Structure 1
Amino acid sequence: MIIWVTAVVVYLAAVFHRTSLGVASLEAGARFHLGPAALGTFTVLQVGVYAVMQVPTGLLVDRYGARRVLTVAALLMGLGQLLFAFATSYPLGLLARAVLGVGDAMTFVSVLRLVAAHFPARRYAVVAAFTAALGSVGNLVSTVPLSLLLHSAGWTPTFAIAGAATAAYSVVLMLRVRDNPIGVVPEPVDHSESLSTVLVGVRHAWRTPGTRLGFWVHFSTMSAPSMLGLLWGFPYLVQAQGLGEQAAGLLLSLLVVGAIVGGPAVGTVISRRPEWRTPMVVGYVVIALSVWVVLLGWPGGHVPLGLLVAAFAFLSMGGPASTIGFALARDYNPMRRVGTATGVVNVGGFVAITVSALVVGMLLDVAAPLGTATAFRIAFLSVVAVLVLGLWRTSVWWRRARAAVFDAASRGEEVPVRIRRRSWDLTPA
């Protein structure tokens, strides 16, 4: 338990650093003299680096252990945030966010690998979801408290303190975290493996239908709430909906509160009824699409506050739903490949976030002459497109994963989840 708590703290710090630009976007625009598209590049770069690093991180964790990877992650995040605190030019700011993105990318996969090693399989879904929920506290700290600190202490002290504290925490990680429980002998790892052998493991993880389903589950559920929380939610609420900065920060905090409350709830449900996992995801995405249709189609563009609250509260459940992807990776891959498979799944959501954040910024620039409210309505159509794509591919790989389970059961193999054959399973996927 102490090992898990120690690891969760650095994940909390990672989420804080990742989302800190959400309420500092207006200050960043003024500090670096940026328009919407250039400002969006900060998030696109950081999240893009995160996505690219997921599979390498999984391989590093499987080969060298979560403790070493987490320690390096804390050092990199601290360095990146310190650099961002003192950066005054756009290129230096981009470099800082890239370094921060690399460190951030190495945290969650490492923490989940520790969960897989220190907790029984039947508790994995609950602990993983609770881990994600606790990490969301970092997002909560990066909304109203960070906004207040920025206005009182200023840009450089705020980010410098955060960076220094994170770098110092690497010492705690090195001393307190163990890769495996005491008395458990880990599977031997051949550190002399060639690159081709390593890539074979990645291909095996990718070709596993459960991993591929997890990828699209993460892609479909995580993108919209993260895109709002990371960058575009605050400008949308202030500039397009006319809310004050404090009110906008409070509304954005709903994304975090929903994740904190919903994480343990989703984890408990799917651990007891694992056959409900993908249906819950499909249901969430369908309703999320309906929410966006209402927000973007509201007459006049100014959505009533009560409806905004309800919409953000529901969209916040995307984070908890995304943890279902990691449960799928854990169930359908051997332990020696869990880190790699988890990294593959994690790529899904961050690819979606990267695309959404980039396209939103570009469309805001193009549609600016039409007015702020109209520009945001046009720009957020990219979010709808991502959800539609995710829903389609999730449905395809849901059927393929079910077919793989039925085939394994017919061969007499043990399957992680017992499911009943439906009429639509008879049609080839």
Structure 2
Amino acid sequence: MPVDRATRQAWLIWSTAVVVYVAALFHRTSLGVASLEAGERFEVGPAALGTFTVLQIGLYAAMQIPTGLLVDRFGPRRVLVAATLLMGLGQVLFAVAHSYPLGLAARAVLGVGDAMTWVSVLRLAAAHFPPRKFTVVMSLSAALGGAGNLVATVPLTLLLDHTGWTATFLGAGVLTALYSIVVALRVKETPDGVTPPPVERVPLRTVTRRVAEAWRTPSTRLGFWVHFTSMSTPALLGLLWGFPYLVEAQGLSRPQASAVLSMLVVVAIVSGPVIGTVIARRPEWRMPIVGSYLGTAVLCWVVLLGWPGGVVPLPVLYVVFGVLAVGNPASGVAFALVRDYNPLHRVSTASGMANVGGFGAISGMALAVGVVLDLVDFLPPAQAYRIAFVPVAAVLVLGVWRTGTWWRRARAAVFAAESRGEQVPVQIRRRRWDALAEA
């Protein structure tokens, strides 16, 4: 049964768990400002460098459905402990790696640990907070996770310059692994007085059916495409290609590039709680907010790709990166949709499926950018990056189309449920264009 109020214990448990997510965001994006050093350390070109992100994020995406099943089976506390240990181990290996294969292995371990964090935090929030607080807590979690992103911009650049590669990443890995003790001691999976659900050994056939049922739910599919489209392009810039683009194509100094890149974090931290509060009070505004962001994001990419000469003025770069940053908190709408329209026993599984959307898109885009940069390395950097970012814009347009399609279908499913006399989580008004989905 859902709890009826947020207790002091709930906030304590959530704060303990969200620190793991903050660490995950730091480790995930740490290669962003270290990408040029990584190319020199491992003696690789853009395509091989992109493979670091493709492997890490690809494993993250592939692990989302298994992570949801693991959380449903073993509980979020055990999964978070395992995630913390794996992220610490992965970063330690990355700190001491000098060969490209060992570097890839380190990022793979890191990606698996990272994959276990977000769904676990969402499950704890669902268990300890009332439904009306869930969206706010989810948005606050995402905003605080941005602190990890922020540390992975200017502060990490300064650390790398002053302490070096090995000391910086080794310290981060050891501290992360040690924090697993805090998680094991302080996180409880259910509030006091609430009996934990019995451990259920789910047969493979039931697991397959649960995944299929979640995917057939129109709002799960809508959540997948919302996440695919909203968070993929800002994350791609923050994870790998934003820093090289700003330094090599735009001619910025490393501190200037870090400052522009930090807009992806600062704006997300500020806008996240605002968006979360708005959609918690007016849930019918969730998709209009996402739609408005997607339209603006398309315009931003038109500016980046179409600016005469390819060198964009610094103030415009600040504005574009700041606008694109809103995609991270807007992507949280995906998980609110999943939670509202799936029964509790498959919320984690459906959340994992939605999470696959954005990170699957990032994997493909990161590899495409690296491959294209290798193919056009004879061009000036500004022109080369302009061509290399065309696949990114194409993926965004694809996501906008599919999001619109499943938005109509999800609305049709809600109207059909209302016509059968069923209660729906969010009341929405019928529009003329809803007839297109019902026809």
Bigger mean CA offset, 272-281 vs 40-49: 272-281
Structural mapping, 1:69-88, within 5 Å: 69-88=79-98
Partner deviation per Cα, 1:191-227 (whole Å, 9 max, x = no partner)? 2x21111111111111111111000000000011100
> Offset at 1:409?
1.1
Partner deviation per Cα, 1:233-275 (whole Å, 9 max, x = no partner)? 0000000000000110011011000110011011011111111
> Offset at 1:63?
1.1
Structural mapping, 1:363-378, within 5 Å: 363-378=372-387
Gaps of 5+ in 1: none
Count of aligned pairs between the two proteins: 428
Matching residue's letter, 1:131: S
Aligned partner of 2:3 in structure 1 is none
- How many angstroms apart in 2 are the aligned matches of 1:31 and 1:22? 15
Q: Find the partner of 2:340 among 326, 331, 345.
A: 331
- How many angstroms apart in 1 are the aligned matches of 2:83 and 2:57? 15
**Other structure's SS at 2:331 match:** helix
- How many angstroms apart in 1 are the aligned matches of 2:340 and 2:311? 45
Matching residue's letter, 1:404: A
The answer on 1:383 being equivalent to 2:392 is yes
- How many angstroms apart in 2 are the aligned matches of 1:183 and 1:333? 25
Aligned partner of 1:28 in structure 2 is 38
> Offset at 1:186?
3.4
Structural mapping, 1:114-263, within 5 Å: 114-191=124-201, 193-263=202-272
Partner deviation per Cα, 1:360-392 (whole Å, 9 max, x = no partner)? 111111111121111100111111111111111
Partner deviation per Cα, 1:303-338 (whole Å, 9 max, x = no partner)? 011100110110010101000001001101111111
Aligned partner of 1:62 in structure 2 is 72
> Offset at 1:124?
1.1
Matching residue's letter, 1:180: T
Conservation of the 8 A alpha-carbon contact between 1:187 and 1:336 = no
> Offset at 1:342?
0.7
> Offset at 1:123?
1.4
> Offset at 1:414?
1.3
Partner deviation per Cα, 1:150-174 (whole Å, 9 max, x = no partner)? 1111111110000000001111101
- How many angstroms apart in 2 are the aligned matches of 1:380 and 1:35? 17
> Offset at 1:428?
3.2
The answer on 1:352 being equivalent to 2:356 is no
Partner deviation per Cα, 1:119-142 (whole Å, 9 max, x = no partner)? 111111111011000001000001
The answer on 1:418 being equivalent to 2:418 is no
Matching residue's letter, 1:245: R
- How many angstroms apart in 2 are the aligned matches of 1:165 and 1:228? 27
Matching residue's letter, 2:104: L
Conservation of the 8 A alpha-carbon contact between 1:219 and 1:351 = yes
Gaps of 5+ in 2: 1-10
Aligned partner of 2:285 in structure 1 is 276
- How many angstroms apart in 2 are the aligned matches of 1:80 and 1:257? 27
The Cα RMSD (Å) is 0.8
Are residues 186 and 335 of structure 1, via their aligned partners in 2, closer, same or farther at CA, if it must alter by over 3 Å? Answer: farther
**Other structure's SS at 2:189 match:** coil
Matching residue's letter, 2:363: T
The answer on 1:285 being equivalent to 2:290 is no
Aligned partner of 2:7 in structure 1 is none
Scaled by the length of structure 1, the TM-score of the pair is: 0.99
> Offset at 1:39?
0.4
> Offset at 1:344?
0.6
Aligned partner of 1:428 in structure 2 is 437
